[in-house]
Amino acid sequence: KNEVEQSPQNLTAQEGEFITINCSYSVGISALHWLQQHPGGGIVSLFMLSSGKKKHGRLIATINIQEKHSSLHITASHPRDSAVYICAVLYGQNFVFGPGTRLSVLP
Amino acid sequence: GAGVSQTPSNKVTEKGKYVELRCDPISGHTALYWYRQSLGQGPEFLIYFQGTGAADDSGLPNDRFFAVRPEGSVSTLKIQRTERGDSAVYLCASSSTGLGDTQYFGPGTRLTVL
């Protein structure tokens, strides 16, 4: 069984700060997703990656397959980035989700 | 274009009743996924359809849960003899061809079993 862990569980930052959220998993995977869930429940897929690094606007995601670890970085954070960030790994034919990291960015 | 839609948005039922939750994926998406999210937790995989067939239903918690996608588009998640522990937000997602694609999530159906 693939265990997915995220850290930190909760994170409060000041606007403009650089933020890092970590995800680690226990078994080899074929892909990893970073998801954003805003209050009210809507989920948006941010990245899907299987190696290396991807960048979209102020968001950067990296994955190290050997270390079974991925990070999501947010540069120049803004209050609208406040959400729960969820890591989900593709293991076999289904997804295993991490517990999420709740981010609050204060103005 | 239209995203993934789910109906109803909220469903309150009594213990022991039968419920159906509907998901309309993005038009043309062949892959469809059902997840369940309990309060304060991350989503939990239930079932994955590729076309009309269930490619992986290993996440369904027991035989009270069943899902269909008869024409390869709309899917219905069916729960028999509901229990209070079934209360959760049921999320549906679709992707273009399969597991390696970006998933687009619906708004979810909040099920409350009294």
Q: What is the pLDDT of residues A52-91, one digit of tens each?
A: 999 999 999 999 999 999 999 999 999 999 999 999 998 7
* pLDDT reading at A42 higher than 90: no
Question: For residue B94, what is the nearest residue in chain A, using CA coordinates?
Answer: A45
Measure the CA angle with vertex B8, ends B18 and B2; round to 5°.
140
How many Å apart are CA B69 and CA B49, to the nearest integer? Answer: 8
A42 shares contact with chain B (CB less than 8 Å):
yes
Say whether pLDDT at B102 is over 70.
yes
Residue percentage of chain A with pLDDT more than 70 = 97
The answer to whether B75 and B68 have CB atoms below 8 angstroms apart is yes
3-state helix, strand, coil in chain A (%, to 5): 5, 60, 35
B 68-87 residues inside an 8 A Cβ radius of A: none
Asked if A98's CB is within 8 angstroms of B55's CB, the reply is no
Tell me if A45 sits within 8 A of B35, measured CB to CB.
Answer: no
Structure confidence at residue B62 (pLDDT): 93
The pair of three-digit structure tokens given for residue A96, joined into one six-digit string: 């295993």
- Establish how many alpha carbons lie within 13 A of residue B42's alpha carbon, considering only the half-sphere containing its beta carbon: 23
Report yes or no: A89 at the B interface, CB cutoff 8 Å.
Answer: no
Q: Are B103 and B3 in contact (CB under 8 A)?
A: no
Averaged over B95-114, what is the pLDDT? 89
What pLDDT digit, counting tens, does each position of B47-86 carry? 999 999 998 898 999 999 999 999 999 999 999 999 999 9
CB contact A96 to B (< 8 Å): yes
Spatial distance between the Cα atoms of B76 and B54, rounded to a whole number of angstroms: 12
**Residues of A with Cβ-Cβ distance to B41 under 8 angstroms:** 99-100
Residue ranges of alpha helices (H) inside chain B are none
For residue B54, what is the nearest residue in chain A, using CA coordinates?
A93
Q: Strand runs (DSSP E) across chain A, as ranges?
A: 4-7, 10-14, 19-25, 31-37, 43-49, 52-56, 59-64, 69-74, 83-91, 94-97, 101-106
Q: Considering chain A, what percentage of its residues have pLDDT values greater than 90? A: 70
Partners of residue B104 in chain A, C-beta under 8 Å: 45
- Average pLDDT in chain B: 93
pLDDT, tens only, B11-46: 999 999 999 999 999 999 999 999 999 887 888 999
Confidence (pLDDT) at B1: 53
B41 touches chain A (CB under 8 A): yes
* Statement: residue A30 has pLDDT above 90: no
Both tokens of A24, joined, read 């680690």
The type of residue at B87 is: S
Question: What is the pLDDT averaged over residues A20-46?
Answer: 88
Q: What is the pLDDT of residue A1?
A: 64
